[in-house]
Structure 1
Amino acid sequence: MFLAHIFHHANHLPARRKKTDYYEHAYKNPHRADPKRGIDTRLIFLLCGVSGLVAVCYWLFFSGAFSVTSLEVLNAQSIDPGKIELLVKTELGRKKLFTIPYGASLFFVDSRRIEQAILREFTVKKVDVRPALPHRLIIDLEERIPRYIVKGSQGEDDYAADDEGIALGPAVLGEQQLLWIITAPAILSATTGSAVFPRSTLSFLNALEASSAHIRQGYRIQEVDLTRMLLHDIAVKTSEQWFILMSDALDTDLQLLNVDRALAEMKDERKVIQYIDVRILTKIFYK
């Protein structure tokens, strides 16, 4: 009876009420943003960012603030700088993506394209094209310098060639005193910009030039006759009008060293010498 009375009393107790938050609608946490307001803010920031990016791109590429207005050609000696500038302006006027000229902005300039165009049109060894803010394009040239006057054994015209054996055009009067005169059995090509010598001939001439820097007896090399090169028989005329008979199959340093030794032994006889033959390294012949 007692337990029944307790359960009966518990069932008739009033239910506990949930505590009411009277500030739920009035208070808003500042760290919790309104979802609708957050979407609008992100959209505004996105539009502002896109607008800023478009404005910067327009300023860099299309506004003309960095358009190419000045060309500077460096180290042009025998080449007319005006011709270089005309070619570069033609390349800058070409359209990029069919609408935008390459010269509209320094950031559009295709330096390699311009370098290749200059190498095709002019006999230069090297060219470097680089932009310089805000409007300048610098073209730095390394011209090919004449080193040889090439005479063909078949009566061809004389041509100037550089140390790489590249034809530079007809020889200019007065250059013969400064350059080596090469008599070749055959000229590969007299076209400007083409190779004049075979690779083997050029290798020998380069070796001979390097060795001539160590000559101690005061003479200079003026002419090289290569018409009998296939027989390894080469005649080199010196500034003292006598000849060196040498071979392209032997070391040029050792051959010119033997010439120095022969001249040191001859002393007073040097004035009437006709030739020195060093085609055998162990023996020296002279007359």
Structure 2
Amino acid sequence: MFFRKSKKRKFFFRAGSAISGGAGSVRSYSKKSSEKKNIFGRILYWLVFLIFIGAIIYTLFFSGFLNIQTIKVDGSEKIDAEKIKQLVRNEISGKYFNLIDKNNFLLASGKKWENKIKEEFKTLEEVKIKKVFPERVEILVQERDFLFIFCSGGPCLMVDKNGEALTIVDLNSDELQREDRIILIDESNREVNFGDEILDKEFLDFILKIKEKIRTSNGLEIETEIKTPRLISGDIIIKTKEGWSIYLNKDIGVDRLMNMLKIVLENKITVEERVNLDYIDLRIDSKVYYKLK
């Protein structure tokens, strides 16, 4: 038997062909791995970021850390400071959207409170609110300086330096009895409401000056009550503690009136006659009328 020798096949590989194929596979795997790491890194970054933001929001608005705990009122003398505090507590009670406390320090509106307090307490001239981080509110108030009392067709009211009637007063109160405060009575009985401007500045200054001038210029003491038939007339009636009255008009001027009064008391009416004096009328410039009882 003859056997044919099988020829050996020769295989030729291009140089670097196998190596080249292997490196490509490695690079492809590395790229996919890197992309996965980048995606994971981004997810982790945003997760941490959202947790951080959530923690801040929770701390600021839900944890109670910034809830107002202390309310302090300074400058209140005649108004009960506790009433002002209670008004603010009422304003900050409850929640926004049933989620966030209204008494949150960051959401509290000082300007809104100022307007609310002024609206509720008319006798306050100025209100300033200061928020002290993290949970304190300070309320500084300035009460109006009331100059005299005005009585007309309703309850008597206190009048401030702007001529505005702002609060009811009890003439029989112990505090008022101790004060030497002018009481201006309008005999026309016109109705006056809160916030109405009772007097203009000229008439207001006249009322305040005349009392002191009568005392210093003529040595007369007068009663606290001053009457006017109607404010628009400019006339007022002052009663002295000697029992007689003085009729005056603001348009003549305080100094002129005091000069006229001094002349008539020194030259026309004797000390003996003053006992029976009913009134002196100075409402017409350069003319003086008087009446004995």
TM-score range, shorter chain: 0.5 to 0.7
The number of residues matched between the two structures is 245
> 1: distance between equivalents of 2:260 and 2:73?
47
> 2: distance between equivalents of 1:112 and 1:93?
17
| Counterparts in 2 of 1:249 and 1:90: CA distance versus 1, 3 Å | same
Q: CA deviation at 1:212?
A: 4.1
| Counterparts in 2 of 1:231 and 1:93: CA distance versus 1, 3 Å | closer
Aligned to 1:276: 280
233, 243, 254: which one aligns with 2:245: 243
> 1: distance between equivalents of 2:210 and 2:54?
63
Contact between 1:124 and 1:141, CA under 8 Å: does it hold in 2?
Answer: no
> 2: distance between equivalents of 1:64 and 1:187?
54
| Letter matched to residue 115 of structure 2 | Q
Aligned to 1:28: none
Aligned to 1:136: 136
Q: CA deviation at 1:137?
A: 1.3
Aligned to 1:234: 236
| Counterparts in 2 of 1:209 and 1:103: CA distance versus 1, 3 Å | same
Identity %: 24
TM norm structure 2: 0.64
- For residues 114-263 of structure 1, the aligned pairs below 5 Å read 114-126=113-125, 127-144=127-144, 146-152=146-152, 156=153, 158-163=155-160, 164-173=163-172, 174=174, 175=176, 178-184=180-186, 185-189=188-192, 193-195=194-196, 198-200=198-200, 203-215=202-214, 216-217=216-217, 218-221=219-222, 222-260=224-262, 262=264
- For residues 8-23 of structure 1, the aligned pairs below 5 Å read none
TM norm structure 1: 0.65
Q: CA deviation at 1:206?
A: 3.7
- For residues 69-88 of structure 1, the aligned pairs below 5 Å read 69-88=69-88
Contact between 2:149 and 2:159, CA under 8 Å: does it hold in 1?
Answer: no
SS in 1 for 2:252: coil
| Letter matched to residue 191 of structure 2 | L
Q: CA deviation at 1:159?
A: 1.4
Could you report, residue by residue, the CA deviation over 1:41-82 in whole angstroms, capped at 9, with x for unpaired residues? 999999888876665565455443332111112233333322
| Letter matched to residue 278 of structure 1 | L
> 2: distance between equivalents of 1:203 and 1:254?
15
Structure with the greater alpha carbon radius of gyration: 2
> 2: distance between equivalents of 1:68 and 1:178?
43
Q: CA deviation at 1:89?
A: 0.5
List gaps (5 residues or longer) in structure 1. 1-35
SS in 2 for 1:104: coil
SS in 2 for 1:114: helix
| Letter matched to residue 139 of structure 1 | I
| 52-61 or 128-137, larger mean C-alpha shift | 52-61
| Counterparts in 2 of 1:245 and 1:134: CA distance versus 1, 3 Å | same
Contact between 1:235 and 1:244, CA under 8 Å: does it hold in 2?
Answer: yes
Contact between 1:69 and 1:136, CA under 8 Å: does it hold in 2?
Answer: yes
| 159-168 or 86-95, larger mean C-alpha shift | 159-168
SS in 2 for 1:108: coil
| Counterparts in 2 of 1:51 and 1:242: CA distance versus 1, 3 Å | farther
> 1: distance between equivalents of 2:266 and 2:46?
88
> 2: distance between equivalents of 1:265 and 1:55?
90
| Letter matched to residue 136 of structure 2 | R
Q: CA RMSD in A?
A: 4.0
List gaps (5 residues or longer) in structure 2. 1-34
Contact between 1:68 and 1:136, CA under 8 Å: does it hold in 2?
Answer: yes
